[in-house]
Amino acid sequence: DHKAMIIDGKAIAQTIRSKIAVEVRNLSQKYDKVPGLAVVIMGSRKDSQSYVSMKRKACAEVGITSVDVDLPENVSQDDLIAKVHKLNVKPDVHGILVQLPLPRHINEEKVLSEISIERDVDGFHSLNIGKLAMKAENLYSFLALPRQDIGNGCLELLSRSGISITGKKAVVVGRSNIVGSPVALLLLQANATVTVVHSHTLDPESIIRQACIIIAAAGQAMMVKGGWIKPGAAIIDVGTNAIDDSRKKSGYRLVGDVDFQEACKVAGWITPVPGGVVGPMTVEMLLKNTLDGAKRVIAK
């Protein structure tokens, strides 16, 4: 019976976290300065609160100073932007993260584009995304990659599992600004031949079946079936979908965009949900981007 290799995002994230902690310590010993990440949250959405507290805790664990900015739901767009401008010039801040989604009265794109490009650790600034699409040679170090916490998390899991990308056929399911499109651009930069499947794609099944690498980010519970997968393919499942489960105390459980049980019988590698790219890896990439930003500034 074939059984796919499980890509353990949690374990890989832990390895990366230890390395970051060492680098932060070295940096502060050498220059007597520590990296700082401003984490801005607006309102009291439970999921956002829990992501933010996870990110702040992770900062503390590796020795990055977390500059906490907690704003009420009703802050105006102008006031939020003024806050961002202040953070842009704060010397001990090397990365700025604005937790999404923002309340309805705020134009997200406008706010994100006010973050200084050097401090855009999420890579949402339109200039950062544009640079990636332009195949720019000299991106702002690591910082110019869009939503690198997710996109780079996917690539990092592949490379750490010994899966080469160059020359391979990759299919990305989903084309959102936050996940699908940046991941497709990153794969293209890594020399994959990339096809993007979206809600208008005819016969997605036959397209997905050609892929050596599948990145699933459609937000559709267990949409990719075992029969859609090329034997031996590597699957990174970004999807995080809650489905009803009466056996759970919470009444639900999380599943990916790929039918995990079926996929295990066909794929070469697969990430579990939860415990794959979303969660552990995304936070690690964020810490890494903050560290890289700090290194550039502090060592100058």
Active site residues: 55, 99, 122
Query: Shortest approach of ligand NDP to residue 190 CB, angstroms?
Result: 20
Residue 23 or 122: the one with the smaller Cβ distance to ligand NDP is 122
Stretch that binds ligand NDP, among 66-74, 128-136, 206-214, 232-240 (CB under 6 A): 232-240
Number of residue whose CB is nearest ligand NDP: 176
Give how far Cα 102 sits from Cα of 32, 79, 178, Å: 35, 14, 14
Using rule CB under 6 A, residue 280 touches ligand NDP: no
Using rule CB under 6 A, residue 198 touches ligand NDP: yes
Residues 161-190 that bind ligand NDP (CB under 6 A): 173-176, 178-180
Query: Shortest approach of ligand NDP to residue 34 CB, angstroms?
Result: 27
Residue 19 or 219: the one with the smaller Cβ distance to ligand NDP is 219
- Pick from 1, 3, 77, 24: nearest CA to 268: 3
In whole angstroms, what is the distance from residue 184 CA to residue 190 CA? 10
Number of residues that bind ligand NDP (CB under 6 A): 24
Binding mask of the shown chain, residues 240 to 269, with x at each position contacting ligand NDP by CB under 6 A? xx----------------------------
Using rule CB under 6 A, residue 217 touches ligand NDP: yes
Using rule CB under 6 A, residue 220 touches ligand NDP: yes
In whole angstroms, what is the distance from residue 212 CA to residue 214 CA? 7
Binding mask of the shown chain, residues 132 to 151, with x at each position contacting ligand NDP by CB under 6 A? ------------------x-
φ, ψ (nearest 5 deg) of residue 211? -85, 140
Residue 84 or 224: the one with the smaller Cβ distance to ligand NDP is 224
* Partner residues linked to 253 by β-bridges: 243
Name the site residues for ligand NDP (rule: CB under 6 A). Answer: 150, 173-176, 178-180, 197-201, 204, 217-220, 223, 238-241, 278
